[in-house]
């Protein structure tokens, strides 16, 4: 640390070469940037920039997420974080985004791919194994699960995918989401139709409108294919999440255009923007100068959406470390006007509170009360044109959700709500360079196994995936490892930055 640097916190990170856990210091420098400095005895000093805005970083990190301790059996701490996942008894957050890796097969080889895949004698999770994963998750959630995400590889290559989706719905899971690169969907409209009938959600990777960027990031020119897939998903009414991976200098200037497309397409429910992460078969060797921090993505969104979304329109998720997720909700205008950020009519604390216990907004009593408060407040505020427009949009939403003629069932109500209110999530993954056990302890996204074991996704991608014979031809053996003790507690001055 130099004289111009200010210590923000100490934590445990990983060596980028040997992946051993090493102590790290997070500092703010004279340029107002946040850096992580660490030193591996075997591989020397290492640094990574975590943010370009120290004030935002500190303010955001100071927000303490809602306490939601794991309710099921945990593993005792043995080697220390992040080497005892299952989760270990130090893990401090329940699973809100369960991820099930159902196949190792993939029909692309993307330069930014952050996982390891295997196409020779590929692994396809059996129905029996998947059933046990579901049973374990449903049990842990107390019988009602908001969401499950099936991933791979390319999940659409799983020979029994449709049956797996049915199994998840049969257990009452609200949203069954399937990640996809879209290649198979573009060739098979009948499959899109079947997915629509099964009420599956497609989480479609969509990084760019530019063919050169596409080739650099996805290893192929897929822009036309993605547009075709989106038109098929739209035609058949398949709920869709767009997943752009942001990399600096490649596609960060396009984020506004991608958001606008997502808001305009009726099939798109959410956008989940990931920051590039340097793990996996492709990502580990991708251009490191493309690293982009959460704040830079928010800035890019503000700059490229022409005022539609500002940095101040985002709140962190109360279900995760506040540096992992930033969330904005927008109310769409079916009269053709620009969507309106919730924080233009709703208090920041109210939106934050509505996101407690769920990664996505759910039609809870709290949300109903928050919306009613917002409506009353906007109505009472007066007749200025912005209030009047917000009130008209909210009025239409309420009348659509609660028609006086024929009531909507819960499923239709959720769908109408999600069509009217779209979300933009920014999700910052970690790799060896940026790894911070403080964030890992509070991770709510986990890769889930049939025996009930769960591993936070960043830990999984950085450390665990390449040890599994089902995903790599030559699994890497574990070396000697010794993790960090629980890091310093996060400060408690909770302000919703």
β 268-275/240-243 pair status: parallel
Q: Which is nearer to other proteins, 224 or 376 (CB)?
A: 376
Neighbours of 394 (CB within 10 A): 21
The region of 184-192, 204-212, 255-263, 363-371 touching other proteins under the rule CB under 8 A is 363-371
Cβ pair 180, 154 in contact under 8 A:
yes
CA distance 419 to 380: 27
- Distances from the Cα of 440 to the Cαs of 267, 428, 430, in angstroms? 33, 12, 9
Among 458, 441, 425, 446, smallest CA distance to 315 is for 425
Contact 222/212 with Cβ under 8 angstroms? no
User: Is there binding between residue 407 and other proteins (CB under 8 A)?
Assistant: yes
Which one, 82 or 417, has the nearer CB to other proteins?
417
Q: Which is nearer to other proteins, 250 or 342 (CB)?
A: 342
Give whichever of 385 and 492 is closer to other proteins, judged by the CB atom: 385
Q: Is 334 in the site for other proteins (CB under 8 A)?
A: no
Residue reference for tokens 């499950």: 148
Span near other proteins by CB under 8 A; candidates 40-48, 151-159, 346-354, 371-379: 371-379
Terminal-to-terminal C-alpha distance of the chain = 27
Residue 335, interface with other proteins (CB under 8 A)?
A: no
Nearest distance, CB of residue 171 and other proteins, angstroms: 17
- Peptide bond preceding 81 in cis form (omega within 30 of 0): no
Q: Does 23 bind other proteins (CB under 8 A)?
A: no
Task: Using CB under 8 A, pick the residue from 364, 386, 485, 495 that binds other proteins.
Answer: 364
172 sits near other proteins (criterion: CB under 8 A)? no
Minimum distance from residue 175 beta carbon to other proteins (Å): 15
- Based on the shown chain and the rule CB under 8 A, indicate whether residue 382 belongs to the binding site for other proteins: no
Closest to other proteins by CB, 120 or 409: 409
Q: Report yes or no: 438 and 57 within 8 Å, Cβ to Cβ.
A: no
376 contacts other proteins (rule: CB under 8 A): yes
Q: Does 408 bind other proteins (CB under 8 A)?
A: yes
Instruction: Out of 3, 190, 365, 474, name the contact with other proteins by CB under 8 A.
Output: 365
Size of the site for other proteins (CB under 8 A): 26
Of 91, 58, 5, the residue nearest 493 (C-alpha): 58
Looking at the Cβ atoms of 125 and 367, the one nearer to other proteins is 367
The SS3 assignment for 202 reads strand
Q: How far is the CB of 182 from other proteins (least distance, A)?
A: 33
User: What is the nearest approach in angstroms of other proteins to the Cβ of residue 388?
Assistant: 13
Q: Tell me how far apart the alpha carbons of residues 226 and 228 are, in angstroms, rounded to a whole number.
A: 5
User: What gap in Å lies between CA 65 and CA 52, rounded to an integer?
Assistant: 23
399 binds other proteins (CB under 8 A): yes
Q: Are 297 and 246 in contact (CB under 8 A)?
A: yes
Q: CA 478, 157, 243, 371 torsion: positive or negative?
A: negative
Binding to other proteins by residue 388, rule CB under 8 A?
no
Binding of other proteins by 398 (CB under 8 A): yes
| Count of Cβ atoms closer than 10 Å to residue 344 Cβ | 17
344: which 2 tokens?
């233009």
23 vs 407 by CB, closer to other proteins: 407
Q: Which of 3, 380, 474, 488 touches other proteins (CB under 8 A)?
A: 380
Question: Which helix (H) or strand (E) segment is 27 a member of?
Answer: strand 21-28
x/- mask, other proteins, residues 413-452, rule CB under 8 A, reads x---------------------------------------
Interface residues with other proteins (CB under 8 A)? 363-365, 368, 372, 375-376, 378-380, 391, 394-395, 398-399, 401-410, 413
């Amino acid at each position: 640390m130099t004289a111009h640097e200010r210590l923000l916190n100490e934590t445990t990170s990983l060596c980028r070469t040997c992946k051993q856990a090493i102590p790290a210091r997070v500092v703010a420098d004279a340029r107002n940037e946040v850096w992580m400095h660490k030193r591996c005895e075997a591989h020397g000093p290492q640094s990574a920039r975590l943010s370009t805005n120290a004030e935002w970083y500190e303010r955001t990190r100071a927000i303490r997420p809602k306490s939601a301790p794991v309710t099921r059996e945990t593993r005792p701490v043995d080697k220390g974080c992040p080497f005892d996942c299952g989760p270990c008894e130090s893990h401090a957050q329940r699973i809100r985004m369960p991820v099930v890796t159902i196949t190792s097969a993939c029909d692309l080889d993307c330069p930014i791919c952050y996982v390891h895949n295997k196409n020779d004698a590929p692994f396809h999770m059996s129905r029996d194994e998947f059933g046990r994963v579901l049973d374990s998750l449903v049990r842990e959630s107390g019988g009602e699960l908001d969401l499950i995400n099936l991933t791979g590889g390319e999940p659409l290559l799983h020979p029994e995918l449709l049956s797996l989706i049915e199994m998840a719905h049969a257990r009452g899971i609200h949203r069954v989401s399937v990640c996809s690169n879209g290649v198979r969907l573009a060739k098979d409209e009948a499959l899109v139709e079947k997915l629509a009938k099964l009420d599956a959600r497609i989480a479609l990777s969509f990084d760019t409108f530019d063919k050169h960027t596409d080739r650099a990031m996805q290893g192929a020119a897929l822009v036309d294919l993605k547009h075709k897939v989106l038109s098929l998903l739209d035609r058949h009414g398949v709920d869709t999440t767009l997943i752009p991976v942001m990399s600096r200098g490649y596609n960060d200037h396009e984020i506004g255009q991608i958001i606008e497309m997502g808001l305009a397409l009726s099939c798109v429910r959410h956008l989940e923007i990931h920051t590039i992460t340097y793990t996996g078969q492709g990502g580990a060797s991708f251009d490191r100068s493309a690293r982009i921090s959460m704040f830079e993505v928010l800035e890019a969104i503000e700059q490229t959406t022409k005022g539609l979304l500002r940095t101040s329109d985002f709140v962190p998720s109360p279900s995760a470390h506040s540096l992992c997720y930033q969330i904005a909700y927008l109310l769409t205008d079916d009269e053709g006007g620009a969507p309106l950020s919730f924080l233009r009519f709703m208090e920041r604390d109210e939106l934050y509170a509505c996101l407690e216990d769920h990664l996505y907004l759910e039609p809870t009593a709290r949300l109903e009360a928050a919306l009613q408060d917002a409506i009353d407040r906007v109505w009472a505020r007066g007749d200025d044109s912005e209030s009047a427009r917000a009130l008209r949009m909210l009025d239409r939403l309420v009348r659509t959700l609660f028609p006086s003629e024929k009531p909507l069932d819960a499923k239709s109500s959720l769908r109408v709500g999600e069509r009217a209110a779209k979300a933009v999530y920014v999700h910052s993954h970690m790799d060896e360079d940026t790894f911070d056990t403080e964030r890992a302890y509070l991770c709510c996204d986990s890769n889930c196994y049939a025996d009930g074991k769960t591993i936070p996704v960043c830990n999984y991608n950085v450390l665990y995936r390449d040890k599994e014979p089902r995903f790599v031809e030559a699994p890497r053996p574990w070396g000697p490892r010794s993790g960090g003790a629980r890091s310093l507690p996060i400060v408690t001055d909770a302000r919703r930055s």
